[in-house]
C-alpha cells in the first residue's frame, strides 16, 4: 500500500480506501466525537482520502471549532463524518494496528506513516502483515535476525516477514495441515522480495539432511531464473514481475524440505515486442546482449548478438538505468540454471530461442506497389533466426508472408493461400516472437519443476503455498 504524509497531512491512494474502511471496527470515524473537549486532538477530512491534523478550540451545542495545522479555523457539526479523534501521541507507532484506540482511516494511515519514517516498514493488523517498501537496504534480513523469530509467536517479536513464515511453519508442525501465505500489493510494493525472504526463512528452519540440502539450494535458485526471464524494469519498479506465480513448498514427515512446484500465469508476452518509454524488455535480453555478458565464445559465435541498441525489441530500453544489479548479470542467471540442474545442452537451446527472437525482430518486411509483403529468404536476420530455430529460411518467410485459408471441412473442403500485406506480415512476425518467448517460459518453468520435484521417500508431504 501507499501512504503519503507531510507535516500533519495523511493521504492514502485510492486503492486503499475500501480496505481501510472495512477495518473501521470501533464505530467508525465519528464514534467518539461526542466526548471531545477543548484541546482534543482530531483529524479533519479535507477531501476524499485526505486528512489534516487539528486541535479543538471550542465546543458548542452543535458545532466544534477546530484549528488545523495549516492555520485555518473551521466549524464542523458534532458527529460529522469529517472529524475523527486522533490517537494519543504515545500510541501512534504501535506494532499492531488493532491496538489503536480508534481503528479508523486517518489513525491507521498516520500510524503507518510514523512507523515508516522510523524505518519500521512492517506493521501487524491482527494476523495480517502490512509492508511498505523502503526503497533501500535496511539490513533487516541477516541470519541473526532470522534466528530471533524461530519458535516465537507474533506477539513476542516485532512485526516482520520472517514472523509470517515462522507462523506458517509452526502451524504446519503443530496442526499437521497445509498452510497458505498470500502476498499481494501494487507493482513495486515488494511482493517479489517478500516471497524470496519467506522462502529463505523456510529453507533455514526446515530439518536438514544430505538430500534436503541440495533441494533447498535448487528451490532458492529458481528465483534468479524466474526473475531473469519473467521480470522487467518498469516506470515504478526496477525488478517488476511481469507474471503471476503460485509456489508450493513440500516438507516430508521430518519437516525437511523435499521439493517444490511452481505454477505461473499471465506472462506479459506483449513486452517482448514493445515497451513504454523508460521501461525495458525482460532482463534476460539485456543480460545476453551485454558487451561483457560472459557468453561462451562458441555460443556467441552461433548467436551473432550485438549490444541491445542494435535490436528492435530491446533498443528502446537499451539506455534505461536499472539499479537492481542482478537484472544485468548474465553469469548470475547461468549459475542459477546450473545449480537447478539444467545442463549445458539445455541452456544452449534456451539461448538459441532468445537469439532467434532478437534477430526475428530485426527482420525487415518491405512492400510492393499493392502493399503486399516482400521478404526474402536471404535476409540475414531471417536466415539466422530460422537457423537458430532449426527451420529453413524459406519456411519462415512463407509463415510470415502467406496465409493458408481452409474453406469447408478439413480434408474435404478447399484450401488456398493468399499473400499478406506488409502490416500483416509485421504483425505475424511479432506474434511469432511473442509465442516463441511464451512457450520458452512455460517450458523453462516445467523444467524447473522437474528439478524441484519431490524427492523419493516414505510418508506423505505437507505444503506451504
* DSSP conformation letters of 166-209: HHHHHHHHHH-S-B------STTSSHHHHHHHHHHHHHHHSB--
Helix 210-230 and helix 422-452, axial crossing angle in degrees, nearest 10: 170
Q: How far apart are CA 123 and CA 95, in angstroms?
A: 6
Note the pTM of the prediction, 2 decimals.
Answer: 0.85
* DSSP conformation letters of 426-446: HHHHHHHHHHHHHHHHHHHHH
Strands 41-47 and 83-85: antiparallel
Instruction: Give the E-state strand segments of 266-349 in sequence order.
Output: none
Q: How far apart are CA 77 and CA 239, in angstroms?
A: 49
Tally of CA atoms within 13 A in the half-sphere of 401 that contains its CB = 21
CB 83 within 8 A of CB 29: yes
Tally of CA atoms within 13 A in the half-sphere of 410 that contains its CB = 1
Listed in sequence order, the residues at least 6 apart from 150 whose beta carbon sits closer than 8 Å to its beta carbon are 166, 205
Q: How far apart are CA 152 and CA 160, in angstroms?
A: 12
Integer CA distances (angstroms), 124 to 149, 154, 195, 199, 274, in order: 15, 9, 17, 20, 40
Q: Which residue has the cell 486528512?
A: 51
- What's the pLDDT at 260? 93
Listed in sequence order, the residues at least 6 apart from 204 whose beta carbon sits closer than 8 Å to its beta carbon are 143, 146
Q: How far apart are CA 236 and CA 185, in angstroms?
A: 13
DSSP secondary structure letter of residue 309: G
- What's the pLDDT at 28? 45
If you count DSSP H runs as helices and E runs as strands, how many of each does the chain have, helices first? 13, 18
Q: How far apart are CA 104 and CA 83, in angstroms?
A: 11
CA torsion, ordered 189, 195, 201, 205, to nearest 10 deg: 150
CB 135 within 8 A of CB 144: no
The three cell numbers of residue 268 are 506479459
3-state helix, strand, coil in the chain (%, to 5): 45, 20, 35
* DSSP conformation letters of 261-288: EEEEE---GGGGT---TT--SBHHHHHH
CB 400 within 8 A of CB 375: yes
Q: How far apart are CA 93 and CA 76, in angstroms?
A: 28
The CB density around residue 71, as the number of other CB atoms within 10 Å, is: 6
Q: Which residue has the cell 545449480?
A: 339
Q: How far apart are CA 149 and CA 9, in angstroms?
A: 35
What is the full per-residue pLDDT of the chain (465 aa) written as tens digits? 444 444 444 454 434 333 333 333 344 444 444 567 778 899 999 888 789 999 889 888 888 898 999 888 989 898 888 888 899 999 999 999 999 998 899 999 999 999 999 999 999 998 999 999 998 899 999 999 999 999 999 889 999 999 999 999 999 999 999 999 999 998 888 999 999 999 999 999 999 887 788 888 999 999 999 999 999 999 989 999 999 999 999 999 999 999 999 999 999 999 999 999 999 999 999 999 998 888 888 999 999 999 999 999 999 999 999 988 899 999 999 999 999 999 999 999 999 999 999 999 999 999 898 888 898 988 999 999 999 999 999 999 999 998 888 776 766 667 778 888 999 999 999 999 999 999 999 999 999 999 998 654 445 689 999
Give the H/E segment covering residue 57: strand 50-59
The CB density around residue 303, as the number of other CB atoms within 10 Å, is: 21
- What's the pLDDT at 15? 40
- What's the pLDDT at 392? 95
Amino acid at each position: 500500500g501507499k501512504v503519503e504524509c507531510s507535516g500533519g497531512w495523511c493521504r492514502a491512494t485510492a486503492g486503499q480506501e475500501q480496505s481501510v474502511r472495512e477495518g473501521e471496527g470501533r464505530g467508525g470515524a465519528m464514534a467518539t466525537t461526542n466526548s471531545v473537549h477543548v484541546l482534543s486532538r482530531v483529524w479533519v477530512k479535507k477531501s476524499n482520502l485526505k486528512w489534516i491534523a487539528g486541535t479543538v478550540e471550542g465546543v458548542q451545542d452543535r458545532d466544534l471549532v477546530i484549528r488545523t495545522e495549516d492555520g485555518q479555523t473551521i466549524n464542523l457539526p458534532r458527529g460529522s463524518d469529517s472529524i475523527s479523534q486522533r490517537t494519543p501521541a504515545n500510541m501512534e507507532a504501535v506494532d499492531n494496528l488493532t491496538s489503536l484506540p480508534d481503528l479508523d482511516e486517518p489513525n491507521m494511515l498516520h500510524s503507518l506513516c510514523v512507523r515508516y519514517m522510523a524505518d519500521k516498514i512492517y506493521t501487524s493488523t491482527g494476523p495480517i502483515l502490512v509492508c511498505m517498501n523502503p526503497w533501500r537496504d535496511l539490513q533487516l534480513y541477516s541470519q541473526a535476525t532470522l534466528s530471533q523469530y524461530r519458535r516465537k509467536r507474533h506477539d513476542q517479536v516485532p512485526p516482520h516477514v520472517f514472523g509470517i513464515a515462522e507462523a506458517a511453519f509452526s502451524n504446519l508442525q503443530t496442526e499437521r495441515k497445509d498452510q497458505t501465505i498470500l502476498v499481494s500489493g501494487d507493482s513495486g510494493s515488494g511482493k517479489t522480495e517478500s516471497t524470496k525472504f519467506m522462502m529463505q526463512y523456510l529453507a533455514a528452519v526446515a530439518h536438514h539432511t544430505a538430500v534436503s540440502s541440495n533441494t533447498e539450494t535448487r528451490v532458492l535458485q529458481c528465483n534468479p531464473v524466474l526473475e531473469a526471464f519473467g521480470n522487467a524494469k518498469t516506470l515504478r519498479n526496477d525488478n517488476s514481475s511481469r507474471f503471476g506465480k503460485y509456489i508450493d513448498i513440500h516438507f516430508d514427515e521430518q519437516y525437511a524440505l523435499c521439493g517444490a512446484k511452481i505454477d505461473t500465469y499471465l506472462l506479459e508476452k506483449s513486452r517482448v515486442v514493445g515497451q513504454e518509454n523508460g521501461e525495458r524488455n525482460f532482463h534476460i535480453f539485456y543480460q545476453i546482449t551485454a558487451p561483457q555478458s560472459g557468453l561462451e565464445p562458441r555460443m556467441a559465435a552461433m548467436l551473432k548478438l550485438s549490444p541491445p541498441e542494435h535490436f528492435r525489441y530491446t533498443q528502446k530500453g537499451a539506455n534505461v538505468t536499472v539499479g537492481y544489479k542482478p537484472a544485468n548479470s548474465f553469469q548470475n542467471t547461468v549459475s542459477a540454471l546450473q545449480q537447478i540442474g539444467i545442463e549445458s545442452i539445455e541452456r544452449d537451446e534456451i539461448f538459441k530461442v532468445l537469439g532467434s527472437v532478437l534477430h526475428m525482430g530485426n527482420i525487415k518486411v518491405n512492400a510492393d506497389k499493392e502493399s503486399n509483403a516482400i521478404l526474402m529468404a536471404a535476409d540475414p536476420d531471417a536466415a539466422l533466426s530460422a537457423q537458430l530455430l532449426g527451420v529453413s529460411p524459406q519456411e519462415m518467410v512463407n509463415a510470415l508472408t502467406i496465409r493458408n485459408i481452409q474453406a469447408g471441412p478439413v480434408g474435404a473442403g478447399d484450401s488456398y493461400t493468399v499473400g499478406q500485406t506488409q502490416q500483416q506480415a509485421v504483425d505475424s512476425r511479432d506474434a511469432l516472437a511473442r509465442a516463441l518467448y511464451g512457450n520458452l517460459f512455460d517450458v523453462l518453468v516445467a523444467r524447473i519443476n522437474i528439478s524441484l520435484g519431490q524427492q523419493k521417500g516414505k510418508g506423505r508431504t505437507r505444503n506451504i503455498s
